[in-house]
């Protein structure tokens, strides 16, 4: 880990490693709690001056300066700058992956497809090897038993959200998307009730919108099922249960092949859990489809 962290995402990754005790740093409990608060509310850090921020994080201004220097920054101002730059999306994330891909241009079409298949299998195998029986059981119970389920995925992740929503609608009631646009999201978030289940998809580079939604839904006392790509994902801290499905591949953006396999498996497990209720819901769907076809 390089010091100081070069951007907000690296700082967040540093904090995860620190909390997992994979980094040895002489940081006091109050300073660590202050850092957690700041990473969980980056807009607060970006907007407040050092005195106000110190008061809101229950430490002194001098402690914030010492914390910044402990992390390798020259002082608080440089530390604050990475919070101000947080909204900047990496400008070359996709093009760099495409450059790496172009190095393989001499491969045959079938070899490209074979390599993609191998990547998908590896990603799914990692998920299977690292997911606990308790986590998968909790995820299935939440999908089957929650009174209402909302599903959210931003940009590319919206594809996975649609697959889960469609499959879940076939076997149970009260499933809907959490809107895609900001005004729709505000309305949707206002409709959430305690213990509603919100399923959130995201992988690196994590959108700030998705992270904010995960934090807000947790603060609303909703259950959060995060399907993300890494133990370092910022969604992990906001989730009731988090399942990691890597997205590594030869593709020029995140590969969702393993995600599709996982979601289909999760839906099958949920159908098994629902038993006769799932079968009756599917029969109702088939009946509606037959009526529509007969009238067309």
Residue 106 in any domain: the answer is no
Nearest-10 Cα torsion for 54, 60, 66, 69: 10
Q: State whether 54 and 129 are in the same domain.
A: no
Do 58 and 132 reside in the same domain of the chain?
no
Instruction: Give per-10-residue mean pLDDT for the chain (296 aa).
Output: 83 84 86 90 89 94 94 94 74 74 78 91 95 97 97 93 97 89 73 94 87 90 95 87 92 91 98 97 92 73
The pLDDT of residue 90 is: 57
3-class DSSP state for residue 244? strand
Instruction: State the pLDDT at residue 181.
Output: 55
Looking up residue 142, the CATH number of its domain turns out to be 3.40.50.10490
Strand pairing class (223-228; 175-177): unpaired
Residue 258, number of CB atoms within 10 A of its CB: 24
Q: Is residue 169 part of a domain?
A: yes
Is there a single domain that holds both residue 41 and residue 173? no
Of 69, 84, 99, at which residue does a domain stop? 84
| CA separation for the pair 158, 256 (Å, rounded) | 11
Question: Has residue 57 been placed in a domain?
Answer: yes
Which has the closest alpha carbon to 178: 194, 195, 197?
197
**Sign of the dihedral through C-alpha 187, 153, 89, 69:** positive
Confidence (pLDDT) at 87: 58
Q: Are residues 61 and 196 in the same domain?
A: no
Q: Domain check: are 57 and 167 in the same one?
A: no
Model pLDDT, residue 188? 80
Strand ranges of the sheet holding 175-177, from the earlier edge strand across to the other edge: 175-177, 149-153, 197-201, 223-228, 241-244
Q: Does residue 107 fall inside a structural domain?
A: no
Count of the separate structural domains present in the chain: 2
pTM metric for this prediction: 0.78
Domain span at residue 43 reads: 8-84
Pair 201, 213: CB distance under 8 Å: no
């Amino acid at each position: 880990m390089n010091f100081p962290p070069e951007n907000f995402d690296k700082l967040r990754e540093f904090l995860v490693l620190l909390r997992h005790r994979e980094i040895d740093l002489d940081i006091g409990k109050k300073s660590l709690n202050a850092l957690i608060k700041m990473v969980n509310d980056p807009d607060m850090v970006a907007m407040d001056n050092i005195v106000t921020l110190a008061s809101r994080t229950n430490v002194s201004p001098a402690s914030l300066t010492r914390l910044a220097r402990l992390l390798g920054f020259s002082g608080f101002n440089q530390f604050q700058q990475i919070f101000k730059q947080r909204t900047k999306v990496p400008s070359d994330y996709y093009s760099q992956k495409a450059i790496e891909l172009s190095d393989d241009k001499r491969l045959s079409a079938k070899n490209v497809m074979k390599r993609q298949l191998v990547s998908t299998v590896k990603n799914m195998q990692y998920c299977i090897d690292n997911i606990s029986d308790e986590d998968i059981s909790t995820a299935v119970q939440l999908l089957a038993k929650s009174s209402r389920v909302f599903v959210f995925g931003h940009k590319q992740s919206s594809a996975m959200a649609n697959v889960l929503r469609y499959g879940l609608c076939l076997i149970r009631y009260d499933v809907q998307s959490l809107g895609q646009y900001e005004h729709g999201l505000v309305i949707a978030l206002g409709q959430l009730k305690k213990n509603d289940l919100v399923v959130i998809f995201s992988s690196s580079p994590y959108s700030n919108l998705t992270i904010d939604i995960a934090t807000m839904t947790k603060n609303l006392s909703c259950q959060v099922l995060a399907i993300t790509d890494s133990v370092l994902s910022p969604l992990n801290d906001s989730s009731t249960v988090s399942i990691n499905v890597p997205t590594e591949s030869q593709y020029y953006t995140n590969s969702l092949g393993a995600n599709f396999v996982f979601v289909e498996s999760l839906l099958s497990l949920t159908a098994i859990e629902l038993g006769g209720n799932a079968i009756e819901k599917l029969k109702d769907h088939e009946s509606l489809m037959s009526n529509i076809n007969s009238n067309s």
